[in-house]
Amino acid sequence: MRLLLVEDNVPLADELTQSLQRQGYAIDWLADGRDAVYQGSSEPYDLIILDLGLPGLPGLEVLAQWRAGGLSTPVLILTARGSWAERIEGLKAGADDYLSKPFHPEELQLRIQSLLRRARGLANQPTLQAAGLHLDEGRQCVSRDGQDVQLTAAEFRLLRYFMLHPQQILSKSHLAEHLYNGETERDSNVLEVHVNHLRRKLGRSVIETHRGQGYRFGGVVE
Amino acid sequence: MKSIQARLSLGLVGVLVVVGLALAQISLWLFEVGLQRYLETGLRKESENLLVALVRGHSGLELDERRLSSAYQRPFSGYYFRIDFEGGSWRSRSLWDMDMPRPPTPGLHAGLELGPAGQQLLVLRADYRRLGQAISISVAQDYTPVRDGFRRMQQLGLGLGLVALLLILVLQRITVTRSLRPLERTREQIAQLQQGKRSQLDSEVPVELEPLVAQINHLLAHTEDSLRRSRNALGNLGHALKTPLAVLMSLASSERLNDLPEVRAQLQAQLEQIQQRLSRELNRARLAGDALPGAHFDCATELPGLLSTLGMIHGDHLLIRHQVPDGLSLPWDREDLLELLGNLLDNACKWADSEVCLSIEQEGGVYRLWVDDDGPGIPENARAGVLERGARLDEQVDGHGLGLGIVRDIAEAWGGQMRLLESPLGGLRVSIELPRRVAR
């Protein structure tokens, strides 16, 4: 999952970036509203966290420009101005959720998880379920038939993306774009290694390879 | 204070009555004086005629009867004379058996009453010397018809004056109403201002009203401006404090404190307290109260946005219903009311299983708002604690505490009352009664 964080307060952005990376998200960070307008619509983000008090261009204006440009990525607004009048304004401008500062980091993580599932049309449930697997995002482990299987951070990130997009053919470059932020070196071999690790742990048929096209998750589980 | 219209009418009537009466009286008096002078001329001629009729006879002076006008022969004809000379006095036949006294001085005398008919006489006494004798001739004329004429004229004049007065009053009323119309319009606009139907007074007013209207508009703009500025300042303060607070909260739950669980717990508890205190005090401070007219809460336009926002935040599994009379507008500041309803409904949505219902109704001078949910509710003995003033924030039930505290602050600032009851849906019913503001 690749997230864009638009926040002008550097300490907060640092904290959020670190805590979100621990949750297995790839984070790009911007501080200026004008940059955000461009990068938000040109890069394939899965979710955008937007602060409203931005230098360059106000957050609501940024959001309005994205929505006017047809961007449908879920946007979570983060703001210190938490009055209901402003909240309604933000959601009318096209935001999908609203979190007022200060907030508990867990609250932000829960909102992000539920927004990502909602964007994929999945029901709001405590664990992510697909193809007989239950993914516990808090503990970063997957369970099958009541049996826990431990995952590394990279495997967790990959599996979560697959489980949010079951039955879809995902190319390696698509996966790379959504699993790594703009600064990471993208090496498709690394992806192959992680896919093989997942197959070893969960069974070969969990992820099918479609030659020349990519991978597909959600085959019959053995 | 009496109305300007009544004052103007009263003043005008007073002035018109005083001036009109004085003018009528003076003109009548002047007319009478003129008439008497005219009559005096006639009387003097008569006396001269009589003088000519005096002739020397066998036994001294004699009156030549042939030269006398017939009016002096007919009894009580209204024309009389009396001639006094050294040897005695003659009276005209018309006097019959009455005696007309000789006026004490020569000249015109009025007001002498005579005879059974009560004739008012105008008498002219003139003194002559003729045939070596001092002769005083008094000629009188009945003045009653003239006086009656005057009286009739006076009555007629009074009647005419009354009619004129009425006419003037009606016309004046129309004029005053016409010229006071801008004042009336301004009064209506001020009433609309209080009802929140407009935010400024119309500045197209007569010169006299311009300073007043301009001043009111200026005050309105000033109040609005300073309110907005103080809200902005508070918002900025909130922003300035909340972002660092968010950093601290994030730090407090970071892995770096895994080895120091007590420090983390302390930090988190304190930060939580700061956060709750901050949001509650900020909210209390930014309450607009009734400082500003205008910007009222129109249920039909505001509620859909609020409810869809809540639906978005809490997910689709909740049914949020509302029962609000058509066209209801609540006479409080829009943002404050959004804050109140937002917190109320948000709280209900947090606890509800599947259904939340907002009802608003107006009964007499009281607006009743209540929010029901079908959640677990709060046991009766714990309800007081949730709302108790001065209860430590960290002791309050999470969720119920802060939101409802803010709601109570707002309701109390408006002189309202908030109660926690049992909902027919099974959960908690929060009921708020707000007295309608008295128009100032």
**What average pLDDT is seen over chain A?**
84
- pLDDT per residue over B299-313, tens digit each? 888 888 888 888 877
Better-predicted residue by pLDDT, A120 or A36:
A36
* CATH class, B4-150 region: alpha beta
Dihedral of alpha carbons B250, B252, B258, B261, sign:
negative
All structural domains of chain A, each given as residue ranges with its CATH number in brackets, are 2-119 (3.40.50.2300), 128-217 (1.10.10.10)
What span, in angstroms and rounded, lies between the C-alpha atoms of A154 and A156? Answer: 5
pLDDT band of residue A76 (cuts 50, 70, 90) is: very high
- pLDDT per residue over A127-160, tens digit each? 777 777 888 887 788 888 878 888 888 888 888 8
What is the four-CA torsion angle of A45, A46, A52, A54, rounded to 10 degrees? -20
Question: Of the candidates A9, A91, A103, which has its C-beta nearest B312's C-beta?
Answer: A91
Contacts of B283 in chain A (CB under 8 A): 83
CATH number, domain B296-435: 3.30.565.10
Q: How high is the ipTM of this complex? A: 0.74
β partners of residue A172: none
- pLDDT per residue over A81-105, tens digit each? 777 888 888 888 888 888 888 888 8
Q: Do B313 and A88 touch (CB under 8 A)?
A: no
Please give the residue of chain B at the shortest CA–CA distance from A105: B250
Structural contact between residues B403 and B346, judged by C-beta atoms closer than 8 angstroms: yes
* Chain A contact residues (CB < 8 Å to B): 9, 11-12, 15-16, 18-19, 22, 53, 80-85, 87-88, 91-92, 96-98, 100-106, 114, 124
Strands A214-217 and A207-210: antiparallel
Q: Do B250 and A16 touch (CB under 8 A)?
A: yes
Please give the residue of chain A at the shortest CA–CA distance from B279: A82
β partners of residue B55: B62
For position B26, what pLDDT does the model report?
92
H or E segment to which residue B373 belongs: strand B366-373
Question: Of the candidates A12, A80, A92, which has its C-beta nearest B305's C-beta?
Answer: A92
Contacts of A49 in chain B (CB under 8 A): none
Residue B412 in 3-state DSSP? helix
Q: What is the pLDDT tens value at each position of chain B, 440 positions in all? A: 677 778 888 888 899 889 988 988 898 899 888 988 898 999 899 888 888 888 887 777 788 877 788 888 888 888 888 888 887 888 888 888 878 888 888 888 887 777 777 788 888 898 888 778 888 888 988 888 888 888 898 899 889 888 988 898 899 889 888 888 888 888 888 888 877 677 788 888 888 888 888 898 899 889 888 877 887 787 777 778 888 888 888 888 887 888 888 888 888 888 888 888 887 777 777 775 555 555 678 888 888 888 888 887 777 778 888 888 888 888 888 888 888 898 888 888 888 888 888 999 888 888 898 888 888 877 777 777 666 644 443 344 444 556 777 788 888 888 888 888 888 888 888 899 988 765 44
Question: Of the candidates A18, A98, A104, which has its C-beta nearest B313's C-beta?
Answer: A98
For position B22, what pLDDT does the model report?
92
- pLDDT per residue over A153-211, tens digit each? 888 888 888 888 888 888 888 888 888 887 777 777 888 888 888 888 888 778 888 88
What span, in angstroms and rounded, lies between the C-alpha atoms of A136 and A150? Answer: 11
What span, in angstroms and rounded, lies between the C-alpha atoms of A19 and A33? Answer: 23
Q: Do A87 and B250 touch (CB under 8 A)?
A: no
The DSSP secondary-structure symbol of B115 reads T
Interface A–B counts its CB contacts (< 8 A) at 90
Helix axes B210-252, B181-194, angle to 10 degrees: 10
Nearest to residue B369, comparing CAs of B399, B408, B405? B408
Residue A218 in 3-state DSSP? coil
> Phi and psi at residue A206, in whole multiples of 5°?
-60, -40
Domains of chain B by residue range: 4-150, 199-286, 296-435
Task: End-to-end CA distance of chain A: give it in Å, rounded.
Answer: 27
What span, in angstroms and rounded, lies between the C-alpha atoms of A125 and A104? Answer: 20
Which B residues in the span 275-294 are in contact with A, Cβ-Cβ below 8 Å?
A: 275, 279, 283, 286
pTM of the predicted protein model: 0.61
C-alpha distance from A209 to closest chain B C-alpha (Å): 36
Inform me whether the C-beta atom of residue B312 falls under 8 Å from chain A C-beta atoms.
yes
Tokens of B88: 């005695």
List, as own/partner pairs, every contact residues B40-44 make where C-beta atoms lie below 8 angstroms and the sequence separation is at least 24, other chains included: B40/B108, B40/B124, B42/B141, B43/B108, B43/B122, B43/B124, B43/B139, B43/B140, B43/B141, B44/B124, B44/B126, B44/B139
Structural contact between residues B122 and B83, judged by C-beta atoms closer than 8 angstroms: no
Give the ranges where chain A is alpha helix by DSSP (H): 10-22, 33-42, 59-68, 84-92, 105-119, 153-164, 172-179, 188-202
For position A221, what pLDDT does the model report?
44
Length of chain B: 440
Nearest to residue B62, comparing CAs of B74, B50, B71, B78? B50
Better-predicted residue by pLDDT, A108 or B314:
A108
Q: Do A80 and B243 touch (CB under 8 A)?
A: yes
Residue B126 in 3-state DSSP? strand
Between the CA of residue A72 and those of A75, A120, A165, A175, B115, what are the distances in Å? 9, 12, 17, 19, 122
For position A49, what pLDDT does the model report?
92
Most A CBs within 10 Å: which of B232, B308, B309, B337, as the mutation test of the A interface?
B309
Between the CA of residue B58 and those of B9, B55, B63, what are the distances in Å? 78, 10, 12
What span, in angstroms and rounded, lies between the C-alpha atoms of A25 and A105? Answer: 14
Inform me whether the C-beta atom of residue B317 falls under 8 Å from chain A C-beta atoms.
yes
Confidence check: pLDDT of A222 > 50: no
Helix axes B400-413, B334-351, angle to 10 degrees: 150
What span, in angstroms and rounded, lies between the C-alpha atoms of B190 and B96? Answer: 84
Q: Do B247 and A9 touch (CB under 8 A)?
A: yes
Structural contact between residues B51 and B84, judged by C-beta atoms closer than 8 angstroms: no
